[in-house]
Structure 1
Amino acid sequence: MKEPDAGGQIRPPSPQSPQTGAGPARADGQPPRGELPPPGQYPPPGQYPPPGYPADGSQYGGYPYGYAPPQPTNGMALASFIVSLVSLFSCPLLGGVAVYLGRRSREEIRRTGQQGDGLAQAGVIIGWCGVGFGVLMALFMVVYFGFIITMLNSSTAGF
């Protein structure tokens, strides 16, 4: 709500745009102060461009005001994901390494704000799947070789 001035009157808003702070167009044909000229038009020679307008005249500069460059992806999260895939397809014992890397990287991501939380979480989940697969393979091998040893003992006992 607008505050009344000293005389108790509420004044109408000024003719400036609330988003850019620019007023009506200037008489010399230049864009209002603080606004960018249309694409392809440069400021007159010898004058500095208005704030926000790239100094070299290009239309695309770095990141616009108010935007930060994206954070890099956490390397440990990527390593966790890769090691978890290796553990799933070739060496299930590496699943524990993937789980460790994934947990450490998630802590680091929370602390630093880097990208890669999804990779770290996938590394932890796939790593646990690799560990479970390794345990099942070990149990299968124990049962299999136990069965073979039992069969060999029973067949030699008859002689």
Structure 2
Amino acid sequence: MSAHAPVRILYQSYTDPALHQPYLSRLTDYLAGIAAPGVSFEVRGISPADTQLGRLSELRCSVQSIAGIVEAEREGFDAVLVGHFQDAGLFEARTAVDIPVVGHGEASMHQACMLGGRVGIVSIDPVYLPWHHEQIRRYGLESRVVDVRCMQITPDEAVAAYDDPAGYEAIKG
């Protein structure tokens, strides 16, 4: 029996490493805690982060993300997880590299459907409603995802809730 080579997975976040450090630190710790033996995750973000909430910002951030994914392949990573539910740039990234690229939105929606016959999505802001409905159609889940509801919080508020009990309570409200 031969030993398996270590597996390196890049978690490509759409958050800013400087501005969103508490979130990224918790994410790094979480991934280390769930990683199988011989599997390691490295979390990287982008700067500036996706905080403008719109298609133009999603495009700008996806270009940065794709550049990071191309670099990850050059550095010898075995796979990439795009840590952004909207999956901006996911299909473009898949055409740019020869390693697996998994999208949060796509994987989460399919996993949810495996756990329940019908599922719903909760998004952080109504600006993403059209985007999520497009994702649902793209992934062939129109009969399974029955509703999309939205909070009205900024990405910075969502990230701050990881390190600020008052911010967490305000969102949980």
TM-score (normalizing by structure 2): 0.24
State the structure with more CA Rg.
1
Determine which structure has greater relative contact order: mean sequence separation of CA pairs < 8 Å that are 6+ residues apart, divided by chain length. Answer: 2
**Structure with a larger share of its residues in strand:** 2
